[in-house]
Structure 1
């Protein structure tokens, strides 16, 4: 039995005429007649009867029609399911990620993901949270791993992944390291910091204002990742900001976290993607990667 023959039966019963069914299927009356002949020969029963204005299904034809409609719907569902599965293991996923998460989150995730999806391709860009949100909004990225904003922009959805531990850092050879125990002790120090529009800098500025302390004496500032200051901090007496995870990596060699009650804090990390009232804009590949990231991060800290 051919699926095409079942399509022909359904079309004939819907239209009541071979000519109309043939036009709907883009076929010919002769082809439909042959299809009906094959079905009647296979089941040994007449399936169609002549009617004043065309044809109508017999009792056997009506029973076969009901089964044919179910079979064809199941075939459509199967095709859709397999197309979704194919999309989940192929295609390209464009990911934005905080520099601090490239080694601790994204690289291990992709390594776990690729063996079961050898046709998938990944492109990731490492930037700070604000530009990642901008690129996500314009459609340049599919999803982003970043520090969650206090207010999520409209048209986006988020899922928390846990806290990112941050700290104030200096060179292990800093000449005044032992005396830097409170924010007040830092008043005369010079800094290498993110620009004032980035949340790390804003956190430090707010801490200093809360204790009526003067603004940080910024010697070097940049909108790049705090990790980009690592070499500068290592070879100078400047203070800076870093993640605790960076200090455990090679780029944190020669740096230490300052030891003081106000020198460490946490900011919530998350994955963000575009969404609307109808649902998210992610492909099946994107949804699977997002969900795998959420599961993987449950028992981890950054």
Structure 2
């Protein structure tokens, strides 16, 4: 289906045209006018008008709207596929020109998991805001594997085995050991598990995966042999902080990164079990697309993420 440009009664500037396309891409990415409007910092009505104006000028419907959802039409899918990399190229060229300035300025958007933001990312970056008043850092806490190009993030932060091969990746931490933990009261009442089969008889605090919607199977290993434990339990969450809180309250066993539980283990609020079955995950990596020219702001943020904080950064030790 060919996309034909049909001028409106009042000719718009190219900047207006690009703005409408960018608004469309935001709605297409978020599958929601409400979320896209918040992301773009405009009203929902203004965003809807912008997209309708673009559809009118092109002479095709780009989005199918219902009361509950937004989906792309065939024309919308084509426009998104063709325009997204071209806008990325424009941004890269603008960034290259901006790099000629000595200023560390602009907005760097980062996506990471909540406890990684809290324990690793923010401690390394907060000092930059005092040092560079014209730098802005926006951090999104998401558990799904984000496409940083499509969702217009500058940096993604994930475990090493989750980083795509075409990305430029910088290691932030050493490999991260995992731990199975429970409260002393829970273990006193239900016993201490010794094997993955024992876990199936326990009340386990589970994680609902944002990507598939299924429950996370605990990835264990013994003497180099990996195995999965498809545990179940009464409490199911979509992030790790409530899982930790539930374990501390005696509601079951949790499988969490050791840096998150170690202070509570040392204080006696939690006990680690089955340590010989708990593997280490590849360390955290900050990554960005190899197709863009790194700005001075991006380089500054990456350099800060690469350096471990002197005290308290357990994950990097």
Question: Alpha carbon RMSD of aligned pairs, Å?
Answer: 3.7
Give the Cα–Cα distance (whole angstroms) in 1 for the partners of residues 227 and 134 of structure 2. 57
TM-score, structure 2 normalization: 0.55
Higher strand share: 1
Matched residue, 2:219? 204
Pairs within 5 Å for 1:20-35: none
1:14-41 superposed Cα distances (whole Å, 9 cap, x missing partner): xxxxxxxxxxxxxxxxxxxxxxxxxxxx
Q: Distance in 1 between matches of 2:246 and 2:133?
A: 40
Residue matched to 2:132: 117
> Which residue of the partner structure matches residue 153 of structure 1?
164
Measured against aligned partners, the alpha-carbon deviations of 1:154-207 in whole angstroms (never above 9, x if no partner) come to 542212222223211212321346633443432310212123659993443777
More helix by share: 1
Alignment match, 2:302: 290
Question: What corresponds to 2:205 in structure 1?
Answer: 192
Which residue of the partner structure matches residue 255 of structure 2?
241
Count of aligned residue pairs for this structure pair: 211
From the CA coordinates, give the structure whose radius of gyration is larger: 1
Listed as ranges, the gaps of 5+ residues in structure 1 are 1-79
Q: How does 1:195-274 map to 2 (within 5 A)?
A: 195=208, 197=212, 201-204=216-219, 215-222=230-237, 224-248=238-262, 255-268=269-282, 269-274=284-289
* SS of structure 2 residue aligned to 1:134: coil
Native 8 Å contact 2:221 2:278 kept in 1: no
Distance, in Å, in 2 between the alignment partners of 1:121 and 1:281 is 19
Q: Are the structure 2 counterparts of residues 98 and 219 from structure 1 closer, same or farther at C-alpha, using a change threshold of 3 Å?
A: same
Q: 1:159 to 1:217 in 2, by over 3 A?
A: same
Counterpart-to-counterpart distance in 1, 2:213 and 2:160: 12
Structure 2 residue runs without a partner (length 5+): 1-96
What is the alpha-carbon distance in structure 1 between the residues aligned to residue 151 and residue 294 of structure 2? 11
**Aligned position for 1:84:** 101
Give the SS at the match of 1:123.
strand
Cα distance change of structure 1 residues 122 and 215 upon mapping to structure 2, 3 Å threshold: closer
Q: Kindly tell me: are residues 270 and 216 of structure 1, through their superposed partners in 2, closer, same or farther at Cα, counting changes over 3 Å? A: same
Q: TM-score, normalised by structure 1?
A: 0.58
- 1:91-170, aligned counterparts within 5 Å? 91-128=106-143, 131=144, 133-149=145-161, 152-153=163-164, 155-161=166-172, 162-170=174-182
Cα drift, residue 255 of structure 1: 4.6
CA gap 1:288/1:199 in 2 versus in 1, 3 angstroms: farther
Render the CA deviation track for 1:213-261: whole Å, top value 9, x for unaligned: 9732343334x222222222233432112222222468x9875242323
Distance 1:187 1:260 in 2: 14
